[in-house]
Amino acid sequence: MHGLLETWATMPIRRPGNALPFLLLGAFRALIDDLHRQLAEQGHPQLKPVHGFALQMINRGGSITDLGRRLGVTKQAAHKTVMGLENLGYAQRRPSATDRRRIDVVLTGRGVEALALSGAILNQLRDEWASRAGEEEMQVLEEVLERASGQDGMDRILGWLGS
């Protein structure tokens, strides 16, 4: 009986299924909080997580309607987001080069800078996580998450945020 107890005591604890979303969300929140802390320290204190998603989608090109569809929000909500980003100097509206009836939303130089800085910071944070967990473990984690989601993370959440 003693051997059975020792075996049982060394078995990894299996968490209930409802723990996984919270572990993933907690890790996401920690990463995004660190990102925004560093963005604020480097000249972008007004940027919020929702702005990051919008900047990514604006960078793909298109109109306010396109932005709303990508974010899964109404045209009115997308318009409000664009107005906020315009007021902060990250985006601007301009006539479409391909359709005179359409107004496109584009990143300003400040928006491009913030997006590039975000990418650099996220690369640094990924490396910090890998140094704590181990590079092999980090690669395994990334591969498992990619397989589990079935596609690129950004494409997976497009249209879902506003649902």
138 in any annotated domain = yes
| Threshold 0.75, pTM exceeds | yes
Domain count, the chain: 1
31: confidence class by pLDDT, cuts 50, 70, 90: very high
Provide the residue range defining the domain that includes 78.
32-157
40 in any annotated domain = yes
95 in any annotated domain = yes
21 in any annotated domain = no
* CATH code, domain with 57: 1.10.10.10
93 in any annotated domain = yes
Q: Do 52 and 88 meet the contact criterion of CB atoms below 8 Å apart?
A: no
16 in any annotated domain = no
72 in any annotated domain = yes
- Taking only the tens place, the pLDDT of each residue in 87-141 is 999 999 999 888 889 999 999 999 999 999 999 999 999 999 999 999 999 999 9
Q: How are the residues of the chain apportioned to helix, strand and coil, as percentages rounded to the nearest 5?
A: 65, 5, 25
> What's the pLDDT score for residue 159?
60
* Nearest-angstrom CA–CA distance, 76 and 64: 9
1 in any annotated domain = no
Q: How far does the chain reach from its first CA to its final CA, in angstroms?
A: 53
pLDDT of residue 84 exceeding 70, the answer is yes
The label of the residue with tokens 């650099």 reads 120
